[in-house]
Structure 1
Amino acid sequence: MNCVNESIIEEFVLLGFSDRPQLEFPLFVVFLVSYLMTIFGNLSIILVSRLDSKLHTPMYFFLTNLSFLDLCYTTCTVPQLLVNLRSLKKVISYSGCAVQMFMFLALGATECVLLAVMSFDRFVAICRPLRYSVIMHQRLCLQLAAASWLTGFGNSVWLSTLTLQLPLCGRCVIHHFLCEVPALLKLSCVDTTTNEAELFLVSVLFHLIPLTLILVSYAFIAREILKITSTEGRQKAFGTCGSHLIVVTLFYGTAISMYLQPPSSSSKDRGKMVSLFYGIIAPVLNPLIYTLRNKEIKEAFKRLIARVFLIKK
């Protein structure tokens, strides 16, 4: 099948890991278990955050948004990947590819902004504790969450449209396990320098600027924590920020290494590995990081389990 132009393309071949067939079944098992863990972990956080009144705070409101985002993130890629790993015909329809690229871009950009919003929440909680409830009122929280989602999806509309308008030549074979902009740019038969420049610009806006804001917030937070005299107070302050910092490091570290360089300069295997990490592995780790390091969530889980057993009795 040759790609002549978008109007006659019906499907793409996603090569994925077909160059290493001996790994396909082990990878299928790993990704299936990871996907189930992602669903269970993130749904658990959403459920306990909504059912426990003690967690009805801005911090857990944003964490619920992050958990829902991670659910969507993996769902837009993993089911198709699992099908292709157990299928001889590793294809995705043109419309399916377009939707997958749009969602992956939108959710990735949304997470960039949302993580910055979460750092702002921690900044206000630690540096302005007496005014926290006044500053982080419900309306502002809703506005910040909405702005994160709208900005991410608005960015995706623009970049996806520019990418899908490119004429495609040669075989419709994507050397990746998902439809991602850098992989699709390689299929174009025209000069993609402008598209690569636009992708780089967007990556700077959605990666470096939010990351800078996060680092500035945590610089103020660290200075404030060092003023706390009690060891217990410091540990509690570090505890509320530590999980978020780990998630930021995991997400931004891999995303920046993928997008802040021209697509042509990255190897096929490297692009797959990076996408695997921030698109599949990170959403599995996020709920584990937040639950294992967060005493309030662990206590909320205990209360919820106790309520369920009391109801059964």
Structure 2
Amino acid sequence: MTADALEKIPLQGLVPEELCRAVPGVPIDDARRIVAQVHRDESVATPSSLIRRTSREAVVARGIVPSLEIVAERKSQIDPFVKYALRTHDGHVVETVRIPLEHPGRFSVCVSSQVGCALACAFCATGRMGLSRNLETWEIVEQVRIVRRGLPAGARVHGVVFQGMGEPLSNLDRVLAAIRVMQEPSALAIDARAITVCTSGLPTGIRRLAKEAPKVRLGLSLGSARRDVRRRLMPIDKAHALDEVITAAAEHVAETGLAPMWAVTLLAGVNDRPEDAQALAEMVLAFRERTGANPRLSVIPYNSIAEADDPFSRADDAAEDAFRAELQARGVFTHKRYSGGGDVAAACGQLAARG
């Protein structure tokens, strides 16, 4: 973008009330219609009998609808997942994944919230990148818009999951602003209950998410319920111990009434032993007793981070079956999350802006 364009307001990052504040004098009914135009990919400069000329001209003078460049669009050959590599105006590349849902014609979008990530989870390719910068609100929203444009006729974006590149709660101002646009009826009109924000464990962010987006679901990456193992896998545990994170998750339940999603990625010989399953079962049962909510527990097969020094390997079927059986014996049932697009590095933990 040019210097002049950078000074303008990205319109796809605003809800109508914010547009009224950003461009004084625009009434709310015009703001709603202009936001709807933006998200229908119509030019705001085109005269409309439904929008006052003064409003349209004021918004055109102050606003812009920037875009992300599609560097690559890679379709999986084994399932209907599609990965997009998108270049920002300053040359960074972020990745977004189109995820098919069980209901035909419905898709979810896995969006990135940062360029890279500072948390350095050992089993995540993004964590090896380090953090370059936060994404702006419009850059998060634009990922959904790009995926939507490529959908088959009659299909729609049903949900969004913040589980792409970056730690969403480290960029929470912009993530919350993007959620407002996603659920706004005149914008993307996605049910807030179909939006999930996943975190490695930032308690302050979890509490704020509960208060400011109470219909949005919380996802928590555990790594392991055993603290010594988790600390080796997820350095964030040194700043925020798992007990502190679980307390914040319990407060999220109290505030929202929503059961959280918990995820464990099984790593052969690291966190797939009987004692790992026992510790996880105890944590689930204690959370259930504490909150009355039953976490939706997903056990995820490890996806290689595709580097020569990858220190991990996927737990084999026998180890995974034994892990699940250990949980089930203690009254804890799991979901096997299908993590698709592995052949195009679109699966959980694989996003690293390689295109």
The TM tier, using the shorter chain, reads: under 0.3
Q: Which has the higher contact order (CA 8 A, sep 6+)?
A: 1
Structure with greater strand percent: 2
Structure with greater helix percent: 1
> Normalising by structure 2, what TM-score?
0.23
